[in-house]
Structure 1
Amino acid sequence: MKNILLPTDFSDNSWNAIVYALNFYKDANCNFYLLHVSKLSTVVTNDYPYVPAQGIIEDVYIKPTKKQLRAVLKKISENFPKNKKHNFYTLTDYNFFIESLREHLEEKKVDVIVMGTKGASGLSKLIIGSNTGDVITKVKCTTLVVPENAKFIKIEEIAFPTDFSLSNDLQILQPIAEILEENNASLRVLNISKKSLGLNIDQQKNKELLEDYFYNHKHSFHFLTNKKVEDAIQCFVESRDIDMIAMVAKNLNYFQQILFHTKVEEISYHTDVPFLVLHE
């Protein structure tokens, strides 16, 4: 039984992520936990922060949130046929978002977080919304990031950008192997370098480790030279019809360039293609 956490702020983006998750895990036995975290308005009086009393919190934050979560469950039942493999639970909290997430991850033994995100148009700071950005950098849990325009289609092609600086623990790649197995999909391991230098000894060794790990799955290696990693990925995603991009969060060099940068013009892979972010 998989435990899937679905954080929601009741926006169209978070609904899109829920729709994607229910389709993606259609054939899996799952517990889905819909979580909304309310941000308490702290009022400063006489230089001391004032936090509302428990009764006020219950009336102003918790009760309305529970009502909205019930409305989401109703919307799910209206839009999806009943799936005996799926159980749904609602969670409400008022806390700092990341702290709340960490508590529920541990308590519910969550396997995957599925989150929606707002796309790239006109943003000059974060390509993905700050909550999602915080989750994938600060919370050590496999996270599937579903951009605003991503629509579920059967996964056939997964891109895996890497600079081949892997840790010894290849178990981190297990979620990719599962998706390849369940969908009979192909993995495209992608290395992008600014200059055409070839791989050093360690990188070559790690490439061979990847070859061994994915031996039973369809996979291939691709090497591109481009000064801008995000441009190279964009070309690759378009030319190969990539359905998902998988990344290891520890691979910070690539990770930062692909997901966080200051490029203002829209990069369509940010708004169309889901990201699977893996943590050690």
Structure 2
Amino acid sequence: MRTVLLPTDFSENSYNAIKYAMQLFKNSRTKFILLNTLYNADFIIYSSLYGVYKENSTKNLSRFLRRIEEDLPNKYHEFELVSTFKMLHEEIKERVAQQEIDLIVMGTEGAQDGSELIFGTNTVHAIKAAKCPLLAIPAGAAYLEPKNILFPNDLKLDFEAYNLWFLKSIIDQFKSTVHILNVSFGKDLDENQEKSKQALQEYFDENGYVFGRINRDSVMEALKEYQKQNPVEMLVMIKNKHTFIEKLLFSSLVHEVAYNVKIPFLVLPSENYKRQEF
């Protein structure tokens, strides 16, 4: 059984992410942890209201669970409700370490009009903290089976050593085609990149893959251009110092970015992580 952590602030955005997770694993035995973090400025100032905050959180979690069970009943799913006064990124670190969380799914506001952060603050901190896969669901994103998955990378990771089992499990489940995209910036692949390319192609050979290279000035420009001709339902990246994910996630403004994150975004950790038996 897989275990999925679902942070929620009881907004419609977070509920949409929860629905996505339910549908993604509708045929799989899955334990979902509904997590509400109560850490905020009011609590720091009015710590005497601990009991009130806790009671309201517990009631709202129960209300959310009833809504989930009414909208998406599923005999394969079970739930745990958790309220905590820790900050979200701290709770994520502890629970991933203690409970071997297989995946975190959470809603994110996304970029709007090229003038805001690509992701909300909580999502950015969660991605930084998570040592397991994290799936960010943009506000309003409707569930579509991930039949085509865009996997851009700079081919600087040793894919003979890095385990892509979680991505492979999604691909196997939905018979997905992987679109491996490299942005060239006008340069040819070096020897190590060619080796990584070959390792990826061998890894995904039985599933079906497409390999593409685009010469553009920026990664975001390349992603936008590729999707014009190749519709995809999920974007996947690996979080490590050798890839361009740092620029994608943590740039302060996106006025120069031509691509808005409008599809589910799966972030894989930089280090290998223990596989769970589903």
- Following the alignment from structure 1 to structure 2, what is the Cα–Cα distance between the partners of residues 193 and 127? 23
- Following the alignment from structure 1 to structure 2, what is the Cα–Cα distance between the partners of residues 100 and 247? 23
Partner of 1:180: 171
Structure 1 residue corresponding to 2:92, chosen from 94, 101, 111: 101
Query: Which AA in structure 1 matches 2:67?
Result: K
Q: Which runs of 5+ in 2 are unaligned?
A: 272-278
- Following the alignment from structure 1 to structure 2, what is the Cα–Cα distance between the partners of residues 193 and 131? 32
Asked if 1 retains the 8 angstrom alpha-carbon contact of 2:177 and 2:207, the reply is yes
Q: Encode CA deviations 1:208-253: one digit per residue, 9 max, x unaligned.
A: 1111221211012100000021011012123211110110001554
The 3 A distance-change label for structure 1 pair 12 and 242 is: same
Structure 2 residue corresponding to 1:78, chosen from 70, 89, 113: 70
TM-score scaled to structure 2, two decimals?
0.90
TM-score scaled to structure 1, two decimals?
0.89
Give me the CA root mean square deviation: 2.0
Q: Which runs of 5+ in 1 are unaligned?
A: 44-48
- Following the alignment from structure 1 to structure 2, what is the Cα–Cα distance between the partners of residues 154 and 40? 36
The 3 A distance-change label for structure 1 pair 100 and 169 is: farther
Structure 1 residue corresponding to 2:254, chosen from 263, 266, 276: 263
Alignment of 1:76-225 (within 5 A): 76-80=68-72, 82-122=73-113, 124=115, 126-167=117-158, 170-195=161-186, 197-225=187-215
- Following the alignment from structure 1 to structure 2, what is the Cα–Cα distance between the partners of residues 170 and 274? 26
Structure 2 residue corresponding to 1:57, chosen from 50, 57, 62: 50
Asked if 1 retains the 8 angstrom alpha-carbon contact of 2:220 and 2:259, the reply is no
- Give 4+ residue runs of structure 1 displaced > 6 Å after superposition: none
Structure 1 residue corresponding to 2:227, chosen from 237, 241, 244: 237
Asked if 2 retains the 8 angstrom alpha-carbon contact of 1:42 and 1:50, the reply is yes
Displacement after TM superposition at 1:40 (Å): 4.1
Displacement after TM superposition at 1:186 (Å): 0.2
- Following the alignment from structure 1 to structure 2, what is the Cα–Cα distance between the partners of residues 16 and 8? 10
- Following the alignment from structure 1 to structure 2, what is the Cα–Cα distance between the partners of residues 121 and 228? 19
- Following the alignment from structure 1 to structure 2, what is the Cα–Cα distance between the partners of residues 179 and 101? 22
Partner of 1:23: 23
Structure with more of its chain in strand, by fraction: 1
| Structure label with greater radius of gyration | 1
The alignment partner of 1:273 has SS state of: coil
Displacement after TM superposition at 1:123 (Å): 5.7
